[in-house]
Structure 1
Amino acid sequence: MSLNRFQPSYYVDSANASPEYPALTGEHQADICIIGAGYTGLSAALHLAEKGYSVTLLESETIGWGASGRNGGQVCPGHNMGHAELIKKVGREAADSLWDMSLDSVQLVKDLIAEHQISCDLKQGVMHVSAKPGHVAEMRDSVAYKHKVLGYDKIRFVPDDEVQAMLGTERYFGGEYWEDAVHLHPLNYALGLASAAVKAGVTIHEHSKVTGYTSGNNAEVRTASGVVKTQYILLACNGYLGKLEPRVAGKIMPINNFIIATEPLSDELCRTINRDDVAVADSRFVINYFKLSGDNRLLWGGGENYSSRFPSDIPNFVRPYMLNFYPQLKDVKIDYGWGGTLAITLNRMPHFDRINDNLFVAQGYSGHGVALATLGGKLMAEAISGSAEKFDTFRRVPTATFPGGTLLRWPGLVAGMLYFSLRDRFF
């Protein structure tokens, strides 16, 4: 597979070999046509094929070209909306089910990696840390809630001194350590899912941008050079949905996030800044997140923008976030800088929906996409095959449309993000 169409990144340069998949040409038939070959589409395709359906998967670029091949690679339980808040929205039974499914989503990723022998630098442990002393009490309460209310014991509170010993900085404070969480090379995970899907019988077409579709009776999906006649259509486009489906486009807001990769670091320096080789995310609203790669690079994510363009110099855009916590890295060379577009919802919960009888959508993972998008694809497969209970539980979570829809969501979001970024700095 040629990866030249990707924006240069560490992930692309360390990607596993993978074949190219031809563009769609002519007329084809399939039980299911999936639009988008990120985690949602790949997982749905694999699980549907294993159930005996014929599946065609269309991707406008290449496998994992979007956020699925560019993210921080963290696979952690939980949702952006806490369990207590979910109880208020959907009731205790559904909130418990959503929590359980977040645990299932992490286990699903692990199981797929093991079953299909996906080589993706899988490592154990994710740490959420307080960026300010005032955030520590909330972190401690979060751990206690999971122990007492949810009966979950695979998480522990880590006090300030231990966090600072683990991470080699006095700029972070108390945190929560998720023992069962993992982190990985996200592009290689996506490529591994694609390989597994093809082995299960899925037909993949890259460079096949969908120009339109018709759902309902006589459903079909069209590209510039081909058409797929199908029974079901799955929208798995996330931040790249664009104007393809106006009925759900206003439920999400595409935003851009950025990552840098340093040159390979010495073993000693790696142990100093990340003693236990965990993935880390902090408590800022615009979070910093980081981990070590399989070859000892520090991968640091920080900073966002909300336009259609990336910064002209991503390394220098992100580097100050890293140096704010690790000034000792000021002379370390930055080898890579790249960005990706993800989709957020107003409540930061995923948006799952069945638009009509044969048109499904799963999107808006809001930074939890590795685990929840993998689960989302599986749940769509279950819903199509007649077991929609779990998919419908996600559907029950209210997903508001951004005020002003797709036309006015951007200025409103920028104003809101500016407010929270000021809170990150001064409060």
Structure 2
Amino acid sequence: MTSWLHANGDRRFWPATWYAEGVQFPEPFPPLEGRVKADLCVVGAGITGLSAALHGAKAGMSVILLEAQRVGWGASGRNGGQVGSGFNWSQRKLAAKLGAQKARKLWNLAEEAKAMTRQVAAVRPGVLHTVYNKRQLQDIQAENDWMMSHYGTDARVLDGSEVADRIGSPAYAGGVLDMSAGVCNPLAYTLALVRACVAAGVTIHEGSEVHRIDNKHIYTAKGAVTGRFVCHATNGYGAHLIGKSAARILPINNYIAVTEPLDVPPMRERMAVADSRFVVNYFWQTDDRRLVYGGGESYGRKFPSRARIEAKVRENLSRVYNDLSDIRFTHAWGGTLAVTATRLPYLAEVAPGVYSAGGYSGHGLALSAMSGKLCVEAMQGDRSRFDLMAGLPVPALPGGRMLGAWMAQAGMLWGATRDRFHG
């Protein structure tokens, strides 16, 4: 069976996304050849791996970073670009399940993660979380009141008319506007991390797919690395390399299309939008009057054709902007992200000195960089913040490694079907 890593796209090139227009791509890094040693070997050059490599190098470690394709080739360079607040669970739910003190510390980590992103990326402020009915609007009002009371946040709940005025669509019953969140070009951000890694002395090898991790020995087709520490940071593309991670992380495919420049763009205020569906729809308006619109998932390894991707996205976009149902798309692509059973990120020391991170479930742009940093903190002997994040409830998928993915996919399909009937 074709792996997630090889199912889609040419491994020698970055996908032809709108994000790739105008960014500065690095020259190819050579494949790993021969046997080498390092203080830290990182597997996967997405945001998690790049962050781990960068923080390891800054801590004085010798670092080798292995990437099967090109740096930033995977989900890190092709996602929706939203830099969200917190986690998929509300803070009120985290406080109820884990206690007020742990929930507050987790919130502080997530806030720091956003700040880390802004230090490197050009983040445009504002994410509007929209809902479809009165009950959902009441729920977000209660949640926002709780956040203001307990955390002093300043997000604002908008009714349907206020949302329509800002984004040019009557599709929603309301929403909550979080100006502390934002949106960026994720590929530009990821490649900026690559440049920072190179400047910090990280040795990067592209075209170096890892076939086996045996404790602290990492094997590719033409070489091997022995590390004092290992950071497994492949997310949906290489969870199979670590059994405990494979049992908890489910790869899924998601799709984005970008419109041609619009003569009359619909959004008066150019914040990003994410809705309340189980399979989230998300979009934002660019400086050159395009809509970047994401929506629709599939659970097999292979992406559908470009025409099918456009059709998936167009169906969702038309529910929000019916007058754009025939708009031309200039770019359309798919990406493989990863979710967990609870939709909380998975961090673990899976063996002494071997760390794994992934399963960000749509919150990866900020939390992945923080996760890489926390892995290095633990390697350096300060486990407090790593253990906090690793303590999030992320059980194995029901059914184990063999049946778990199938059962989880069935659950995701049920959720997507529910969206069609309940908004």
The TM-score by the shorter chain falls in which range? over 0.9
Deviates more, 1:46-55 or 1:294-303: 294-303
TM-aligned CA deviation for residue 5 of structure 1: 2.3
- Give the ranges of 4+ consecutive aligned residues of structure 1 lying more than 6 Å apart after TM superposition: none
Amino acid aligned to 2:319 = N
Distance of 1:355 and 1:413 partners within structure 2: 22
Equivalent position amino acid for 1:338 in 2: W
Counterpart of 2:168 in structure 1 is 168
Cα shift readout 1:284-327 (whole Å, capped 9, x = no counterpart): 11111001234332110011111111122211221111011101
- Tell me if structure 1 keeps the 8 A contact 2:120–2:192: no
Contact 2:12 2:69 in 1 (8 A): no
Cα offset for 1:20? 1.4
1:280 maps to: 273
SS at match of 2:262: coil
CA distance in 2, matches of 1:224, 1:3: 15
State the partner residue of 1:127.
128
In structure 1, the residue matched to 2:5 is none
Q: Is the 8 A contact 1:3 1:12 kept in 2?
A: no
Alpha-carbon distance in 1 for matches of 2:418, 2:190: 35
Tell whether the 8 Å contact from 1:38 to 1:65 is kept in structure 2 after alignment.
Answer: yes
Consecutive unaligned residues in structure 2, runs of 5 or more:
1-9
Matches within 5 A, 1:209-358: 209-215=209-215, 219-266=216-263, 269-270=264-265, 273-312=266-305, 313-358=308-353
Matching residue of 1:400: 395
Q: Output the CA distance in 2 between the equivalents of 1:3 and 1:297.
A: 28
1: CA distance between counterparts of 2:89 and 2:400? Answer: 22
How many residues are matched?
411
| Corresponding residue of 1:117 | none
* DSSP 3-state at the match of 1:231: strand
Q: Distance in 2 between matches of 1:281 and 1:382?
A: 32
2:416 partner letter: S
- Worse-matched range after superposition: 84-93 or 237-246: 84-93
Secondary structure class of the residue paired with 1:243: helix
Q: Within 2, Cα distance between the matches of 1:231 and 1:257? A: 36
Match of 1:52 in 2: 60
**Quick one: structure 1 residues 196 and 254, their matched pair in 2 at CA, closer, same or farther if it must change by over 3 Å?**
same
Q: 1:419 to 1:229 in 2, by over 3 A?
A: closer
Deviations 1:342-369 (A, max 9, x none): 1101111101111122100111100000
Give me the whole-angstrom Cα distance separating, in 2, the residues matched to 1:297 and 1:405: 43
Give the TM-score taking structure 1 as reference length.
Answer: 0.93
Contact map agreement 1:306 1:410 (CA 8 A) in 2: no
**Identity fraction in percent:** 39
Matched residue, 2:7: none
Deviation, 1:13, is: 3.5
Matched residue, 2:3: none
What RMSD in Å do the two structures reach over aligned CA positions?
A: 1.6
What is the deviation of 1:3?
8.6
- Alignment check: 8 A CA contact 2:398 2:408 kept: no
Give the corresponding residue for 1:24: 32
Alpha-carbon displacement from aligned partner over 1:216-236 (angstroms, at most 9, x marks no partner): xxx321111111121000000
Match of 1:247, SS?
helix
CA distance in 2, matches of 1:411, 1:24: 35
Say yes or no: does 1:147 pair with 2:156. Answer: no
Q: Once the 2 structures are TM-superposed, how far is the Cα of residue 405 of structure 1 from its aligned partner?
A: 1.9
How far 1:152 moved relative to its partner? 1.9
Partner of 2:377: 382
- Aligned partners of 2:19 and 2:185 also within 8 Å: yes
1:53-82 superposed Cα distances (whole Å, 9 cap, x missing partner): 111000000111111011000001111112
Describe the SS at the equivalent of 1:111.
helix
- Give the conservation status (yes or no) of the 8 Å contact 1:250–1:401: yes
Aligned equivalents of 1:297, 1:4: Cα separation in 2: 28
Give the structure 2 partner of residue 197 of structure 1: 197
Aligned partners of 1:415, 1:210: CA distance in 2, in Å? 30
Q: Distance in 1 between matches of 2:204 and 2:260?
A: 35
Matched residues in 2 for 1:15 and 1:255: separation?
A: 27
Matched position secondary structure for 1:138:
helix
Q: Does 1:89 align with 2:129?
A: no
Q: SS of 1:413's equivalent? A: helix
1:151-183 CA distances to partner (integer Å, 9 max, x unpaired)?
222x11112211010011111121111111121
5+ residue gaps, structure 1: 114-119
Structure 1: distance between partners of 2:61 and 2:331: 41
Distance in 2 between the 1:337 and 1:348 partners? 26
The within-5 A match list for 1:359-370 is: 359-370=354-365
- Alignment partners' CA distance in 2, 1:6 and 1:48: 26
3-state secondary structure, aligned to 2:241:
coil
* Alpha-carbon distance in 2 for matches of 1:238, 1:229: 21
Deviation at 1:247, TM superposition (A): 2.3
Per-residue CA deviations over 1:125-154 (Å, capped at 9, x if unaligned) read 11111133432111111211110122222x
Structure 2 length-normalised TM: 0.93
CA contact (8 A) 2:77 2:187 kept: yes
